[in-house]
Structure 1
């Protein structure tokens, strides 16, 4: 008898075979057991042996592999493919190269027990904008023991989630924030599969890096999702090459697209120049320094 998994884990990837292996290896250690979840690896046109890496785990995970031709940056389309094929009521979205704590999926699932749909934000250690601490991380941290490393980072207060400073300033529930959707970054989040489909999934007009996740989360917010932070849904962002200067330029363009797409007082803040941080959006609204309401009409 086939039993529907409790959650579907979607991992989009492109030419990151080694990082994918690390993400899948961490999933084999989930304390809910590998029979309790499925993994959907969606390949955006890799040519580096990604399919071979995925095949290594077919007897260790309930994993399915989907491939789309390389037609440029199409992470939105890749995630949508995963959402379309997910069989579980809850979808967990994880970036390739993110290593989940053994209790991460359990923590995500417990937040979806309520009748009202939740948009759960997990906690991500070791995320640098420009990978500036990558070498020190590799030299001092044991990425083969995710749980022990997270325990150490938590104990020492090192390389905490990039959003931690904001969380510390605003320790109340995320649902009390005027724009909790701005903190929903798809490196480690979850939502109900039915709601993801109802709001239309990811906008596939995003064909460069950045903002496709907050575009989705803005629609989840307007559709009634309650945003929740769960530090027990912990993960490590394995250090790998990236260029924040280049990425920030792409993100600025995409944020302008989001601002124009919805044209609401809140989303217009995304287009302010010079670009303000996603944290500042909430603080501007909290301070009442912008003519925007906290409760926009639900779509």
Structure 2
């Protein structure tokens, strides 16, 4: 499918880290191929985040939509659904607000966009020192020389290898990172979006990937292109992880393709 025929919406989730969000959205505004719109899913951030978004709107050539909900604890799945419901694009490129997309992120993802597939991309985890430099100097860019060697390969680009690896690498369904994924919006709606019964950290990405799989949507991996640079931060609490793992296992065992508590309540009738 020709890239020009796909209207893209970038989905960025965030919570109370406006400095990182500024760099994340800034990376989207420096793409070699621009998305159609940027939709920010804000799980209850304070006024600092809104101020950053307003300043970014002033320089953005594409619409930036801020979808906010009150802070009532971790409700990422809910705010993602609300944001997807507001989108106008056909293809959703999902990242987190603590990653910076590489310059060819959109272009490389669109190369692999194909009906009947969702796509999982790669990340490069930055060290605390490089993260500090990224946040303090807007002109500083991560390079092969300042990133951990174990992640360096994820930042390489090769069109030939990108296409060759698409259906050969990472074939396990939950071999993925929610900070770098792409979906057809109507596929997300078909499985009723993210599962809002998952109200703690983790595995909402793997859970929806399995539901898409059971709905007949294939998986591709985006390697050798389209990576994101993950800013360092302390790990989130995993105190409620087992509840999510139990739900994931229920989906796998029951081959469930649609969740009950999802996006449908936000869609226009």
- TM-score computed with the length of structure 2 as normaliser: 0.78
Distance 2:133 2:22 in 1: 20
Match in the other structure for 2:202: 210
Aligned partner (choices 231, 239, 256) of residue 232 of structure 2: 239
Equivalent residues of 1:8, 1:86 under 8 A apart: yes
Instruction: Look up the SS of the partner of 1:57 in the other structure.
Output: helix
Instruction: Look up the SS of the partner of 1:228 in the other structure.
Output: strand
Residues 259 and 100 of structure 1, relative CA distance in 2, 3 Å threshold: same
Residues 137 and 24 of structure 1, relative CA distance in 2, 3 Å threshold: closer
Task: Report how far residue 98 of structure 1 moved.
Answer: 0.7
Equivalent residues of 2:9, 2:87 under 8 A apart: yes
Aligned partner (choices 179, 192, 208) of residue 187 of structure 1: 179
Instruction: Look up the SS of the partner of 2:198 in the other structure.
Output: coil
Farther-moved stretch of structure 1 (20-29 vs 174-183):
174-183
Equivalent residues of 2:193, 2:208 under 8 A apart: yes
Superimposed CA distance per residue, residues 75-112 of structure 1 (whole angstroms, 9 cap, x where no aligned partner): 00111112111111110111011100110011111211
RMSD: 3.1
Distance 2:172 2:58 in 1: 39
Match in the other structure for 2:129: 135
Alignment of 1:25-64 (within 5 A): 25-33=26-34, 36-61=35-60, 62-64=63-65
Equivalent residues of 2:20, 2:135 under 8 A apart: no
Equivalent residues of 1:143, 1:149 under 8 A apart: no
User: Structure 1 residue 82 and structure 2 residue 83: aligned?
Assistant: yes
Distance 2:257 2:244 in 1: 23
Instruction: Look up the SS of the partner of 2:189 in the other structure.
Output: helix
Structure 2, unmatched stretches of 5+, are 155-163, 259-269
Equivalent residues of 2:41, 2:66 under 8 A apart: yes
- TM-score computed with the length of structure 1 as normaliser: 0.71
Equivalent residues of 1:45, 1:67 under 8 A apart: yes
Q: Which has the larger radius of gyration?
A: 1
Structure 1, unmatched stretches of 5+, are 128-132, 163-171, 265-295
Residues 178 and 140 of structure 1, relative CA distance in 2, 3 Å threshold: closer
Match in the other structure for 2:216: 224
Instruction: Look up the SS of the partner of 1:181 in the other structure.
Output: coil
Distance 1:252 1:37 in 2: 38
Instruction: Look up the SS of the partner of 2:209 in the other structure.
Output: helix
Task: Report how far residue 198 of structure 1 moved.
Answer: 0.7
Match in the other structure for 1:6: 7
Residues 191 and 145 of structure 1, relative CA distance in 2, 3 Å threshold: farther
How many residues are matched? 243
Residues 5 and 225 of structure 1, relative CA distance in 2, 3 Å threshold: closer
Alignment of 1:124-203 (within 5 A): 124-126=123-125, 133-135=127-129, 138=132, 144=138, 149-152=142-145, 157-160=149-152, 173=165, 175=167, 180-203=172-195
Equivalent residues of 1:42, 1:66 under 8 A apart: yes
Instruction: Look up the SS of the partner of 1:203 in the other structure.
Output: coil
Distance 2:214 2:106 in 1: 25
